[in-house]
A and B are shown apart, each in its own frame.
Chain A
Amino acid sequence: MSTKDPSRGLLVSPIRNGTVIDHITAGEALNVLRILGITGSTRECLSIATNVESKRMRKKDIVKIENWELRTEEVDRIALLAPQAKINIIRDYRVVEMKGVEIPKVLKGVVRCPNPGCITNTNEPVESTFEVLPKGLHCLYCDWLIKDDIANHII
């Protein structure tokens, strides 16, 4: 699948089965790990590369995790941080599937509303719900608009 110069090959040892999240916005790899709930105590083989050169993006981050499959909610969260990310499923050392990420039109339970007065920040049985607009994320309960620093609001 790859025809690249071997001198620019894998920075780390290949994984047999797992997931490679490639083309992550430079600097967001650690946030991606946070979303996946991966901490220092993980037992799987995990490698992270940040600010590596990329033809397509100048600089990018990559996260490779052995024996891991992403759930849809995790993909939605990653899309918010790194809209250009590519998810590669590795089986038997080979990329068997490669897919982009897509920000859904409505985010449920993904982002915490920054408005302390919002009903979604109470003990009510309700999930935060944001509609994704070109100008930002709009809370469908209190009308708050999150314009930047979206990573900090991801649950």
Chain B
Amino acid sequence: MYHIISIRDFERRDLDYLLDRAQEFDTGDYRPGILDDKLVALLFFEPSTRTRMSFATAMARLGGRSISVDSVEASSIVKGETLADTIRVVSGYADAIVLRHPKEGAARLASEFASVPVINAGDGAGQHPSQTLLDLYTIRQSMPIDGIDVGLLGDLRYGRTAHSLALALSLYGVTLHTIAPRGLEMPANIALELRERGMEVVEHPNVEEAIRELDVLYVTRIQRERFPDSASYYNVASSYRITADLLAAVKDHLMILHPLPRAGEIDPAVDRTPYARYFEQARNGVPIRMALLHEVMK
């Protein structure tokens, strides 16, 4: 049985394969109703409108159906049921489980108790592999990923999307440029792991210094909760904000990506520049999730 738990479980050829499949789904190169006899359970123990909607959309486009838990309050965890039990029960209803859970490692645990495939849709501060795949897919639509310069900007300490994207990019000979406010730098363990995987990781004190070298700038959310007060948050957030002025001397093909929703990290004026690709990126969640759902249930 095939589970999708962590980007660490994938080798380069697995990623490439899934990206190729996503492209086929994207261009309509598949049999309509290909999963019309399948049912997926969307178990979201944490709010997430986008990820959940895009899995539901992907399933519907494949002709399949979804069942879901409406809210955490209504679900059995408030009644004290373990995730392990929930998973065993739901395994009897659906052909696959898509799980979002606040605890790290929840998806790994679920895969051990499930009798159907599990797709991790985010486990706490841990992994969120479908996000990483759609990030890679968006980059690959514009340029070969090999050997490019990618900047990661924002909260690189707690930002799981940034960690998991960096791990995936390390399989493509990418040079990583990190730009993070003090206190939100990439954890030493992760930087070490990336270097062990042969990745060149360059730290930059500010965006201005790094941006001209980049092929891709990946901006992540800087959360207010990470700061002692709103003054220090605004202070940091404003100095890491992407504005149209910053883009004066960048490479022509620079792509700016963001996992969305954004707080104020990117000035809306940037949306009108050709560099802004985050809405396209969000749209790519659908073909990627079609590829994942199809792969585990075909």
Contacts and interface: CB of A to CB of B under 8 A. Distances in A.
Contacts of B143: none
A125 interface: yes
A115 B109 contact: no
A5 B126 CA distance: 58
B82 A124 contact: yes
Contact of A142 (B84, B105, B112): B105
Contact of A135 (B84, B101, B125, B192): B192
Given A117-B103, A143-B8, A124 B125 contact: no
B189 A117 contact: no
A126 B104 CA distance: 13
Contacts of B84: 124-126
Contacts of B204: none
Interface string A116-155: 0111101111100000000100011111010100000000
Given A123-B82, A126-B84, A141 B109 contact: yes
- Which of B84, B101, B102, B108 has the largest number of chain A CB atoms within 10 A? B108
A142 B104 contact: yes
Interface residues of B, number: 21
A145 B189 contact: yes
A119 B125 contact: no
Contacts of B104: 115, 117-119, 141-143
B124 interface: yes
A119 B108 CA distance: 9
B83 A124 contact: yes
Contacts of A145: 189
Contacts of B123: 119
A119 B109 contact: yes
Interface size bucket, A side?
10 to 19
Contacts of A118: 103-105
A140 B103 contact: no
A141 B125 contact: no
Interface string B90-102: 0000000000011
Interface string B55-78: 000000000000000000000000
A135 B193 CA distance: 10
B289 to A, nearest CB: 23
B5 to A, nearest CB: 10
Contacts of A141: 104-105, 108-109
Contacts of B126: 142-143
Nearest to B103: A119
Contacts of B192: 135
Contact of A120 (B6, B105, B127): B105
Interface of B: 6, 8, 82-84, 101-106, 108-109, 112, 123-127, 189, 192
Nearest 7 A/B pairs, CB to CB: A141-B105, A142-B104, A119-B105, A119-B103, A142-B105, A145-B189, A119-B106
